[in-house]
Structure formats: structure tokens, C-alpha cells
A and B are shown apart, each in its own frame.
Chain A
Amino acid sequence: MNNQYAPISAMVGSQGNLISQALQWNPTRPLRDDQGNLTFINTSTRNPLASIDAFKDRSVTNTMVVNLAPYYKFTDDLEYRFIYSVMRQTGNREGIYRAGIIDPANGLNDEQAFISNNGETNQQMTHTLSYNKQVSDDWNINAVAGYEYLDYNFNNNISFGRGFNYVGLDYFDYMQYSTPATREIASYRSPTNQLQSLFVRGGFNYLSRYLFTATARRDGSTKFGANNKYAIFPSVAIAWNIAEEAFLKGNSHINQLKLRLGWGKTGNQEFPSGASLNRLVFGNRSISQANYGNPDLKWETSATINAGIDFSILNNRLYGSIDYFNKKTTDALFEQTLAQPAPAGRVWVNLDGEVVNKGVEIALTGTIVKSQDWTWDLTGNVTFLKNSVSGLVGYYETGALRGQGFSGVLGQRMVNGQPLNVWYLAIHEGIDPQTGMSMYRGADGSISSANDPAINKFYNNSPNPTTLLGISTNVTYKKFTVGANMNGAMGHYLFNNTAATTLGLSNLSLRNIGSSFFNTGVKESISNSAAPSTRYLEKGDYLKMANLTLSYRVGNIGNTLKNFNVSLTGQNLFIITQYTGFDPEVNTDGATNGIPSLGIEYLPYPPARTILLGVNFSL
């Protein structure tokens, strides 16, 4: 796989990235002058075409996967199966930065290049023994026992140098010409990272009406301290096929009715290897302690209860299911601040509190029309969910917001009694007609431009959706088929960081502004500073046409081409939303101190609308 990278990272300073440079470019100024050269303003107002020319960044990734899965049947009931799989992936990335295009006065003799390689080897091995027997006419029992082993390995290296000047060649092909004092090299190999588990599952089926399954697995990981490498995760589930009971069998209205109940625990060990040990890392002729070890680190556990009903009525023309779930996560793995003096100031611990995710999921599928030539079916599913966190000591800040005037700004918190990543922002109450400055709500309830948004902040809404929606439908007429898939989410709020710091009125008179700031009812002052406030917090409700496909089944052509199918597909065709940014399905990385963020938009590359024409056949 070959990749070309463009300068569209969100981790940029005041110069912005390609997206912000394109948004801010004065549209009346030509991008190229009469001779065809790129227009140059200065190093902080960059020509987006110059950014594209200045960065050359490409990579090649090779992946090889090997899978073996032989099995042997001892008897009709007993089977042994062995699975072995290995994935090996290597990547090589090279890049150049032409500083002379961005900064002709200083950069012409200080251009940069890097080469980096990484490799990953993941292995999995599983042995299972399964037993499946119809003991009598009424009873069927099944059991599985198994052992599983996983191994992950990662390594990388990078070399970097600067001091090049452009002679028409790629600098990464002659790195030895770089100035020796500017060279940097680094390499890394991950510590051992293995998982080992033993598991058993057993269950019975009585009269095909009463089903019971129980499993237990004992998982161990290298990442945890000596005391807590292993943990046991059980689960239990029962199901009652009510439609098979005497009182419902043969019922004309209810074709299928099944009740399901289950409880289970799973574990999580996704944190960097080495966190449970005192770890020292190498730097430039230096050794430093990277973290305190925590030998008490143990598995994060999530316990889920779920109850559901599956049904089918009207001669199997309408079927669906309703599920309730409640997932409670305890001993959450978290990077907690540490009393100074300390290396790095944080340490991985298991939190005392818990995170609860609960909700209801409803899915329905119906065949609306079924005749000789026409078929139309419609499937919809909706999930209502809610999450909350408790047991945290104090609050944790995350959600890095960026741009000019937003250095070091954090907009979200993890705190008790609020949903995860709750927004913590000032409340914007409009522009003051007298002064043109923003007015904010104070803690005392007053509304004035004298209220400082930095010290009057409140918990406002959350970036977590409360409702998730999916709709898909298929219409068939003879040989034509139209299929559509839509998805949506509601109840969440997104922070439009792009509008806040890249498109504001203070851009005048060198840069372009966003249309929502132009010709407003109340005139805003150009010295009005942007602040992290609800002015840029927008509802993210949307419904998107994810794909729409028209296809025509030609059939067999001659004797060679069988099942010939022509299809026209559109992806990301339209979206129904009030969100003013590029696309509400956005999540720019604003993680801070290891805590992830959610729902920030900052200079993302806009998602593409794709039209595909395809043919499908077999020989």
C-alpha cells in the first residue's frame, strides 16, 4: 500500500495547516502572479499551494498474513481444532520539508528531510476441543475447552537531518549531506507484550425451548504486576424460545418469540507496556526514569447485564428485537496525576470509581411489499444511551482546543456526576451592541461583557450522543435493485474550533473571515477575542446518506461471464444537519495527559463524496 501525506495535521501552531490556509486566503488575491510563481505574503500568512509544494511525504506499507486452521474429528461428537495466524507489517516513510518555499529569506539553505521505518509482528495461536452431542431426543449438550496465546511486537527507527539546499533531488536519497550537528536518530522496540488464556464453555438445549450457556475464561497479560497478571471472567446466558411452547406453537400472529437474559464480565488491558515497572529510557546521551512502576495494576473489568426479546409477526414479514443493556466498568485504567517530585507527573492506576453505560436498542426489519416483480424491505435500528462516571477524586481536564488565542486551552472535563468528556465552557450571551464585545454569563447570573470567560465557566452538555440511528432499505423491481444505507446520531454537541480561531472577525484585514461573521445584526468589534464558550458549541444532530446503490442484474453473458452485475454507488451523498462545520461525524484528537477527547472539530480534511461505477461477474 502506498500513501501520500498532505500537511493537514491538527497539531499545528499559529501558521495553521493546509485547510486553515485555504480558508483564510484572501479570495481577491490570485494564488499565482503573472509569471506563474506562487504569491508570497509572509511566513504567518501562507499560500496553501506553497504548503502543498513545500511538503513531500510518502510511505510504502507491506503486509503479509498467514493463516493455518487444521482440524481433526476424533468421533462424530469430539473435534480438535488448531488455529495459527501471524501478521507481519513493515512500513517505510520518507519526507522533505522545503523551508525555502515557506520562508525564502531564511529557509533556502536549511531544508529538512527524514526517513523512518517501522515493523510489526503479531501472532495468534489457539487450540480448541469441542464436544457436541444429542444425548437424548430432548437434550442436546455442547462444550468447548481451549487455550489461546497472543504475541505483539513493534519496532521503529527514524533519522532526520537539515541544512539542505534545493538542487532538484530528494534529500532523503542523500542524507549524508545534512549538517552533522542537526542530525537526529532514534529507535525503539516494544517490551514483550503477550496474552495467554484458558477458557471453557458449556451449555445445554432442552426441547429446543430452553437454552443455557455458561463460559469462564482466565486471561493473563504481561503488562500487569506480578500479583495481578491473571483474572477470571465468567459469563452466563439463558434463552427461552416462547414461540415453541404449546400455548404459542401454531399461533398465526406470533411466528417467533424468544426471551434472552445474560450477564458477563470482560477485561481490558489497553495501556502502554512498561507502566507496571519502573522504566528508564534512553535519550541523547541521557538516561531518565520515564515512569514510576505500579505493581498493583490489574485488569480493568466491565460487567454487562443484558435482557432482550426477539420476535417475528405477520407471517415473518416483520421481525425485530428489543434489548436493554447496562455495562459497568470498574478498576478503569487511568493515568492519574502524581505528587511531585516525580518523573513525568503521572502514573497508571486503577481508578476507584466506575463508568456506567446503559441504554435500550430496538431493531426492526419489515418486508413492506413482496410480490412477483416488486420487493421492498426496510430495516431500522435505534439505540438510546447514557453514560456517567463516578468515584473520581477531583476533576481531570482534557479536550485540547487550538488556534491563535487558544494556547493551552482545555474545554472538557472528566468529573463525577457528569457524562464523560462533559463540556466546561463559558456561556456566551451575544454581542454587546454598545461596545461590540462578547457578553458572558457570570457566576452570579449577570450578563455582561465585563464577565471574564476564563473564570466564569459552567458544565454544558456533552459530546456523547444520546440516540444512534441506522436505516437501510432495498427496493427490487425485476432486475433492478436500489439499496440505501443511512446513519445518524442525536443529542450530542460539537465544538467548532475551526470557526472559533480560524474564521473570526479578528482575521481582518489580512485574512478572510467566515460567512457567519459577516453582516450580522449586531456589529462585532474586530478586537473581540475568541474564547472557549458556547458560541462555538453546536448541536451535532445529523442523518447521513452513507451509501446509495443502483444495480442491474444482467445475468449470464455467453458461456464465460456468469452473474454479470452492473452497479452505480454513491457514498456520503448528503447529510441532513444544522451543524455549520464540514461534517458532524468529526473527532479531532484533543487528548491531553493520556485522557481522550470527543467531539472537537479543528481543521479536518473534509470527507469526500464518492461515486463508483462497478461490474461484478464470475468466470
Chain B
Amino acid sequence: MKSKYLLYTLLMGSVAAGTFSCTKLNEEFKGELGEGNANIDPAGLLVTAYTSLNTPYQQEQRWVMQEVSTDAAIAPTRGGDWDDNGMHRAIHLHTWNADNGYMNSTFVSLGTAIYNATNVLKYSPSAQQAAEARFIRALAMFDMVDLYGVVPVREGAALEDFRIAPEVLQPQAAIDYMVKDLNEILNSLPLNGPTAAYVANRNAAKVLLMKIYLNKGAF
């Protein structure tokens, strides 16, 4: 009887031990991808770069920074509503400090758009995909310089490792960077009449170049 129990317990233990024990503790993704995966399609990353433009180019971000900070628009309180801890008032009166929600979220969302566009270039995109990504990056950089006066850029080692600080471009360096990028991609972008309304084309790049030249003196 005693040996039967021993046999039974050891058998169960060894079966279970054989199946589960002593793992190497490797973390594997099931519904997501790790960076080393060879199947990452740059087209999917390009869609992300386009959709990341949705966030900053909205009422709650770039529009407020551009318009409410001038006399073109105000955001008054309506009784107990719309005071919002003085968030809008601070933009209009130019009394914002580091914890103002608009300042912070617009900076983060433009920065994320720049990052997502740069990320497309890491995964062997086609010439047109790379050109579209660089256009998106130049667009976000333009608004970053326009609103904040400087642009941080991650390239090379800083793109791979978050502990390395990005390089902060001053206005002239940022203008040179954007103009060089836009001129290089002009021939790779579709001429006009793209298949989808949101796809960057040659005219869009030319208009952005125009905006940079017109605003050069103010940066």
C-alpha cells in the first residue's frame, strides 16, 4: 500500500514536472510583435504615421495653441462650466506654466507623430512609402518649430535606445533638415490625384516647402 502511494505521487509529480518545470522564462508575444520579427510590414507602420496626425491637428491641441493664444478666439467660462482649472485662460493670457494640459499634450502628440514617421524608415519601406513617411515627419516638425521654437529628433543610436537623449534642433538647423528632406522626396511622391485623399503627393510637399520659406523669418 505504501509503495503504491509512493509510485502514484512520484508519477504525478514527474509527469507534471516534465511538462512544466524548469523553463527558460522567455517572454513570447502572442497577439503582438517583437521588434526582431522579420514580418513587420512598413505599410502598417505608415498607416500608424498617418493616423498619429489625427491627435495633434484637433481643436484640443494645435488649434487652441494657434488661435486661443491670440485675440482670434477665446474660451469663456459659462457659469460653472468650462473653467477647467484655468487651462484655456492660461493660453489666452500667456500665463501658462509646465503643468498646462495643452502645452504638454500637443508637444507629446507632435513628438509621437515624428517618431512614428521615423519608425517607418527602419523597416525597409519602398521609395514611395519612405517619401510619404518623411513628408509626415516634416509636417509635424514644421508645427513643432512653429509652436515651440525647437524640434527634438531621434536618429541613429538615440532612435534605438531611449536612454540616449535626442538631439534638439534650433530653428535654422530644423529648417535646413526639413527643406533637405522635402527636396529629396519630391520625385518619389505621386504626381497628383492619389488613390486616397490622405496620401501625401508632390503638391503637398511643395505647399509645405512654401510654408517653411514664408515663415523662415519668424522662426
Contact = CB atoms under 8 A, between A and B. Distances in A.
A229 B112 contact: no
Contacts of B16: 82, 84, 125
A344 B23 CA distance: 32
B25 A68 contact: no
B86 interface: yes
Given A293-B35, A339-B166, A528 B23 contact: no
Which interface class (under 10, 10 to 19, 20 to 34, 35 or more) fits A? 35 or more
Contacts of B31: 155, 187-190, 282
A229 B26 CA distance: 10
Contact of A123 (B12, B20, B51, B165): B20
Contacts of A14: 81
A556 to B, nearest CB: 38
B5 interface: yes
Interface string A511-531: 000000000000000111111
B9 A340 contact: no
**SS of A interface (majority):** loop
A469 to B, nearest CB: 35
A558 interface: no
A279 interface: yes
Interface in A36-91: 68, 70-72, 80, 82, 84
Contact of B51 (A125, A149, A286): A286
Contact of A405 (B37, B45, B80, B99): B80
Contacts of A111: none
Contacts of A504: 80
B87 A341 contact: no
A282 to B, nearest CB: 7
A288 B45 contact: yes
A125 B23 CA distance: 13
Contacts of A453: 85-86
B90 interface: yes
Interface string B102-130: 00000110111011101100000000000
A329 to B, nearest CB: 23
Contacts of B116: 288-289, 343
A601 interface: no
Nearest to B119: A289
B187 to A, nearest CB: 26
B41 interface: yes
A278 B111 CA distance: 18
Interface in A280-297: 280-290, 292-294
A531 B77 CA distance: 12
A529 B83 contact: yes
A338 B52 CA distance: 18
B3 to A, nearest CB: 10
Given A289-B116, A405-B84, A341 B25 contact: no
Interface stretch (A164-172, A191-199, A458-466, A487-495): A191-199
A531 B32 contact: no
B8 interface: yes
Contacts of B166: 339-341
B79 A506 contact: yes
Interface stretch (A27-35, A95-103, A175-183, A217-225): A217-225
B29 A191 contact: yes
Contacts of A292: 162
A481 interface: no
A347 interface: yes
Contacts of B153: 341
A406 B85 contact: yes
B17 interface: yes
A431 B6 CA distance: 80
Interface in A404-438: 404-410
B32 A409 contact: no
Nearest to B45: A287
A455 B29 CA distance: 45
Interface stretch (A269-277, A319-327, A570-578): A269-277
Which interface class (under 10, 10 to 19, 20 to 34, 35 or more) fits B? 35 or more
Contact of B114 (A187, A288, A341, A406): A341
B81 A125 contact: no
**Residue from the set B5, B26, B84, B89 with the largest chain A CB neighbour count within 10 Å:** B84
B26 A192 contact: yes
B195 interface: no
A82 B23 contact: no
A507 interface: yes
B191 interface: no
A287 B26 contact: no
B8 A70 contact: yes
B40 A229 contact: no
Given A196-B22, A289-B119, A397-B99, A278 B35 contact: yes
A94 to B, nearest CB: 22
A529 B88 CA distance: 14
Contact of B112 (A80, A147, A342): A342
Contact of A408 (B47, B87, B89, B108): B87
B193 interface: no
B114 A340 contact: yes
A191 B83 contact: no
A223 B52 CA distance: 28
Contacts of B30: 155, 189-192
Interface in B153-174: 153-154, 162, 165-166
Given A286-B48, A341-B153, A528-B80, A221 B25 contact: yes
**Residue from the set A71, A84, A343 with the largest chain B CB neighbour count within 10 Å:** A343
A407 B84 contact: yes
A120 interface: no
- The 8 A-B pairs with the shortest beta carbon distances in the complex, nearest first, are A454-B86, A506-B80, A340-B111, A287-B44, A529-B83, A286-B47, A278-B35, A341-B115
18 contacts: A14-B81, A80-B9, A82-B9, A155-B30, A194-B25, A277-B35, A279-B29, A284-B47, A285-B44, A287-B45, A289-B35, A341-B112, A341-B118, A345-B111, A408-B84, A409-B84, A454-B89, A504-B80
Given A151-B20, A229-B25, 17 more contacts: A70-B8, A127-B17, A155-B31, A190-B30, A274-B29, A278-B34, A280-B37, A282-B33, A292-B162, A341-B114, A341-B152, A406-B85, A454-B85, A454-B89, A501-B80, A505-B80, A530-B83
